[in-house]
Structure 1
Amino acid sequence: MATPTSITINRSTLVKPAKRTWSGRMSLSEWDMIGAITHVPTVYFYKSTSSTSHPNLLDHLKDSLARTLVTFYPLAGRLEPVGGGRFDLDCNGLGVRFIEAEARTTSLDELGGDEDLSSCTDFQPLIPEVDYTRPFGEWPLLLVQVTKFRCGGIGLGFNISHAVVDGLSALHFFNEWARVARGKGIGMVPFLDRKVLRAGQPAVSRHPRFDPAEFQRPPVLLPEAGCSNNKGNKPHYETKVAKLKMTKTKVQMLKDMANETTFDHRPYSTYETLTAHIWRCACKARKLKPEQLTSVGVCVDSRRRMNPPLPNAYFGNAVLDIKAVSRSADLITKPLGYAAGKIRRAVEKADGEFLTSAIDYLKNQPDLTEFQDFHDGEEEDDDEGPFFGMPNLGVISWLRLPLLGLDFGFGKEVYMGSTHEFDGDTMLLQSQDGDGSIVLAICLRVDHMEAFKRCFYDDIIV
């Protein structure tokens, strides 16, 4: 496969809302100010059409973006620190960074090599870069890069602030922008008032029932005999990304394995089963000690779990990272249903009372910095995060998100991809073949990847 390294940036501008919008400070919720506060990258690829080759393509995309930002004006603002690891959203209309680029030596076919685009694992040059060396308040909340390929196809790369939106809200915006670009109006107006999550309001309880252990750092790797676990002496390990496809039949076989030993009130879901399988395969591939504690982080959407539920068009962060913890030996030696049950019990804790209490717990903290993740690609320990790096991992599910079918007027994408940089960073996606299969995109240390692949496929017992 080819890597689009020969990228020429032709122009970079700021796209502002087409009309004057509300300006002022918007309080953010606790869900906005914990976890990842940097940006989330995605890229969409489109085959050559008369529309992608149209000389006014870039102007049309910028114009439709400006009109969409009138409704989604928070994305044109900037974050403003207010102390204690907290920040407001300054709706100042400074705009979205829009980058025009060309891949002079690469076509879409070359990018996928002899296979399709799913074989490419390095989309980084096609995704706009955020300059994290700049002051916090200068980061654009959304960056867009339109890359024209030699074949006439294009790549639309996005980098959107996770401190402002989660995956569902980001896709809400992208789909509405696509509607506007096709000449239609906004289909679903975003609900922008974050006070439904008590943003900017004091805690209701000074002593919430929430267990602070939920926000503690995950297990650390036990040291080898005679070796220190001091981070200052921690070696750097090269990582790689793999994309592993599991057919619909194999997924069902795996679910049958998990449900052989369940005593729960309902069968384990696809997500619970696949996450359990990934967790135990990672333990095997990493050759963790039997007594090693390991955690898997899962994202829980609180929209329907809050009491009352959040509005359908809530625009912001509504996800909370929950972790399941187990000994490596238990995951490996016990039936798959054991790991799936661990994941289910972790997720089921997150009911309305749990989430409300968690918000109060965070409101009572003098500083939220310790609950935040900042990965900019420059830090020494950038291969680790709250759920990343040995002995832990995070499994994000995009199985139910409306990722596909993003049509800006030149047809639906031929492929959608993302980037993965950290050991243990994994994502579940529906295959774009439309055959019910699932794709796992996973980043692991190079010395663990082949063993993981073998476990991933060979450990499915008929």
Structure 2
Amino acid sequence: MVNLIASHIVKPAKPIPTKVMFLSECDQRVPVTHVTIVHFYKPEGPELLKDATGVLKESLSEALVAFHPLAGRLYQKDGGRVELQCNSMGALLVEAQSELKIQDFGDFCPTPQIRALIPPIDNNNTPLHEIPLLLAQITKFACGGVSIGLAVSHVIADGHSGCHFVSEWAKIARGEKSDDQPFLDRTIFQKYEDDHPSSTAPKLQYSDFFPLPVLIGQSSSLEERKKTTICAMLKLSKDQIEQIRNKANYQDLMIHKTSNQSPFSRFVAVSAHIWKCLSKARMHNPAQETVLYVNMDFRNRLKLPLPGRYFGNAVLPVPTRAIVGDLQSRPLSYASSKIKEAIENVKDEYVRSYLVCMKNIPEVSSSRHFQAVGCPQGLFLGNPNLIFTTWVGLGLYKADFGWGNQIFLTPGSVAYDGKLFIIPSPNGDGSLFIPLCLQAEHINAFKKHFYDDI
């Protein structure tokens, strides 16, 4: 349904000195894969798309001057780590045409139909150093709409960094000056590691984060990895979110008889609701241990915050552990309290200790490979566990390439069981969209509990 018209390698518009760029332990921990996202637009007139590919190509070349790590390549090193060579090999820009209309994508659930709007990446058969770190595809639809599908190397950028790049690229495409430059010096992390106050910091160990619980009665997660998964797109209105939040806060007040502590946030309450509903849908043994991970941005949680436009990964996985029987028998405020406490623990000493913990791991491959059936040593974040990534607060809907802001955006895929995204509504009405991936046998039960238990 998507026809390729042309593809271009786009290099920085100005010469960039070739060099090896330091990668932090946060960069080294994430999977050597690409984060994918598709932006949908509905221009008011066809004239706005005149020479759209040429505009994107020229503006991308300009944007890659400031964001030149995205034009480089990764190379394998010992211990599963990688090296970033800023060698201006360039990004890939693809132009495509589709007979579909934007409305044909329904609720924009990340399906293979959505994935076709992003250039394919063959990680299994292509040497790492031959894979571009940035791939983009402009697809024009029969209705006059258009999409920009992006694949950005997770090693190079997290959500904040990726949105910063797209925002500046769009600014250049509109003919404006890009004046919000990224901070590229990742050696700043070496200072945090060297200054680590080991005498006072939490003594975090690898076991604090991994390995993860497996289902009772199973010796490993291998059987769970093989099960068929399915993606879905759920939505919570502002009123539904407030119902969930008010329930958790009211229960907490009744238990503690005080309102001295800050109330649960929307994110915490919704996460707790999902955790309870999912453990119910998965029909866990009451004695089953389960872990909920929250991918936490810590840019502003350090005593000396990272520069505002730090370009790289500044995210760590924050685990919250519980016994399913407790999750189900206790009120929503119980799960909310556990998540809130885990998040509030992410402060300067915690982050520094985490960085040193990761630095001391001689082999990082096992923590980079998620759910690969052929990778028994890899992490499995699925049943009985789950992991959240929130895109709230990233400024997602500011990527106007001259066609207006996006009418919607969605991940290109949700790769494995137990993975969920939380995405704000494009119209700013306070609602949330939740694309997720679950084992097919649990998806219907989860949807029922998700809405019935509000």
- Per the TM superposition, whether the score is higher than 0.5 is yes
How many Å apart are 1:370 and its aligned residue?
Answer: 2.5
User: Percent sequence identity over matched residues?
Assistant: 37
**Which residue of 120, 134, 148 maps to 2:140?**
148
**Cα distance, 1:152 vs. partner?**
2.4
1:33-72 matches, within 5 Å, as: 33-48=28-43, 49-54=45-50, 56-72=51-67
Residues 424-461 of structure 1, C-alpha deviations (whole Å, 9 max, x = no match): 1111111224321112222112221111111111112x
- On the 8 A contact 1:61/1:181 being kept in 2, the answer is yes
SS of the residue 1:435 aligns to: coil
Aligned to 1:135: 127
Within 5 A, what are the aligned runs for 1:419-430? Answer: 419-430=413-424
What residue in structure 2 maps to residue 3 of structure 1?
none
Equivalent of 1:77 in 62, 72, 77: 72
The one-character-per-residue Cα deviations of 1:271-301 (angstroms, maximum 9, x if unpaired) are 1100000001000000000000011110111
Structure 1 residues 75, 162: CA separation in 2 closer, same or farther (over 3 Å shift)? same
Partner of 2:187: 195
Asked if structure 2 preserves the Cα contact closer than 8 Å seen for 1:214 and 1:322, the reply is: no
Shift of 1:187: 3.0
Q: Report the CA distance shift for 1:414/1:204 in structure 2 as closer, same or farther (over 3 A).
A: closer
Q: 1:25 to 1:59 in 2, by over 3 A?
A: same
Pick one of 93, 104, 113 that aligns with 1:110.
104
1:138-217 mapped onto 2 (5 Å cutoff): 138-198=130-190, 209-217=203-211
Partner residue of 1:458?
452
List alignment gaps of at least 5 residues for structure 2. Answer: none
Query: C-alpha distance in 1, partners of 2:148/2:25?
Result: 31
Structure-2 separation of matches of 1:382 and 1:445 = 19
CA distance in 2, matches of 1:387, 1:235: 7
AA paired with 1:245? Answer: K
- Secondary structure at 1:179's aligned position in 2? helix
Distance 1:250 1:413 in 2: 25
Question: Which consecutive unaligned segments of at least 5 residues does structure 1 have?
Answer: 1-5
What are the within-5 Å matches in structure 2 for residues 6-405 of structure 1? Answer: 6-48=1-43, 49-54=45-50, 56-103=51-98, 105-112=99-106, 117-118=107-108, 121=111, 122-132=113-123, 133-198=125-190, 209-223=203-217, 229=219, 236-262=226-252, 263=256, 265-373=261-369, 379-380=372-373, 386=379, 388-405=381-398
Tell me how large the CA RMSD over aligned residues is. Answer: 2.4
Change (3 A) 1:276 1:152: same
TM-score (ref. length: structure 1): 0.90
- C-alpha deviation, 1:367, in angstroms: 2.1
Deviation at 1:138, TM superposition (A): 1.8
Q: Conserved in 2, the CA contact under 8 Å of 1:23 and 1:91?
A: yes
Question: Which residue in 2 is equivalent to 1:406?
Answer: 399
| Aligned-partner Cα distance in 2 for 1:150–1:383 | 44
2:432 corresponds to 1:438: yes
TM-score scaled by length of structure 2: 0.91
Aligned in 2, Cα 1:229/1:177: closer, same or farther, shift over 3 Å? same
Verify the 8 A CA contact 2:80 2:365 in the aligned structure 1.
Answer: yes
Structure 2 contact 366–377 (Cα < 8 Å) conserved: no
Amino acid at match of 2:284: L
